[in-house]
A and B are shown apart, each in its own frame.
Chain A
Amino acid sequence: TQLLEQSPQFLSIQEGENLTVYCNSSSVFSSLQWYRQEPGEGPVLLVTVVTGGEVKKLKRLTFQFGDARKDSSLHITAAQPGDTGLYLCAGGGTQGGSEKLVFGKGTKLTVNP
């Protein structure tokens, strides 16, 4: 069974601070996706990384896929209250005979003004 561990589980910071959240696994994934979910809403895809070592930037967000395609990180620069939400990582791969996404439990980020 492929498992994804996210850390930290909860993070509360002040506006303007930087932060990094991590997504780790002992399994290799064909892709790694990051989602952001707000209360009462569905997850919204932020980025997909597919190549080991890949780095993608989305404004103040930087995503990195580990060289071995087992882990990923999300770094946010100068966090803003609008960044508040649940950040979920999900690994794509074949499990149980079909390709599906396996999700971590998420990092709940609160950015205080």
Chain B
Amino acid sequence: NAGVMQNPRHLVRRRGQEARLRCSPMKGHSHVYWYRQLPEEGLKFMVYLQKENIIDESGMPKERFSAEFPKEGPSILRIQQVVRGDSAAYFCASSPRAWGREEAFFGQGTRLTVV
């Protein structure tokens, strides 16, 4: 999974600030998925994007959260006006085609702490 790059690895924000999490997929991968993981929990789906399109955002809170995957550059998960409950590890994964039978590779995650 070293091919999927996420930065920063650790991010500390005060309540009310904005958090921007970046994900560069593996070369040749045009499908990106964002997941959130709380301590001692599994991963919860947030959003699925292809280049310039949001395919499925059913797992992402309607307020304060947004995601994009521009034609050039990394995918960005943006959290506005962060609250303590947003503290979690955020992982992105990429795959060459839609999931189902395709293998996907995860990045090392961004650990967001809201103080």
Contacts and interface: CB of A to CB of B under 8 A. Distances in A.
A109 to B, nearest CB: 13
Given A42-B106, A43-B91, A100 B42 contact: no
Nearest to B55: A98
A101 B42 contact: no
A93 to B, nearest CB: 7
B104 interface: yes
B1 A100 contact: no
B42 A96 contact: no
Given A88-B43, A100-B48, A100-B56, A93 B100 contact: yes
Interface in B6-58: 6, 33, 35, 40-45, 48, 55-56, 58
A42 B45 contact: no
A105 B35 CA distance: 13
B108 A94 contact: no
Contacts of A104: 42
B101 A30 contact: yes
A40 to B, nearest CB: 8
B98 interface: yes
A100 B99 contact: yes
Contact of A42 (B40, B41, B58, B109): B109
A48 B109 CA distance: 22
Given A42-B91, A42-B108, A31 B101 contact: yes
19 contacts: A41-B108, A41-B109, A42-B4, A42-B108, A42-B109, A43-B1, A43-B106, A45-B1, A45-B103, A45-B105, A45-B106, A48-B101, A93-B100, A96-B56, A98-B48, A98-B98, A99-B100, A103-B35, A103-B42
Interface of B: 1, 4, 6, 33, 35, 40-45, 48, 55-56, 58-59, 91, 98-101, 103-109, 111
Interface of A: 4, 6, 30-31, 33, 35, 40-45, 48, 50, 88, 90, 92-94, 96-106, 108
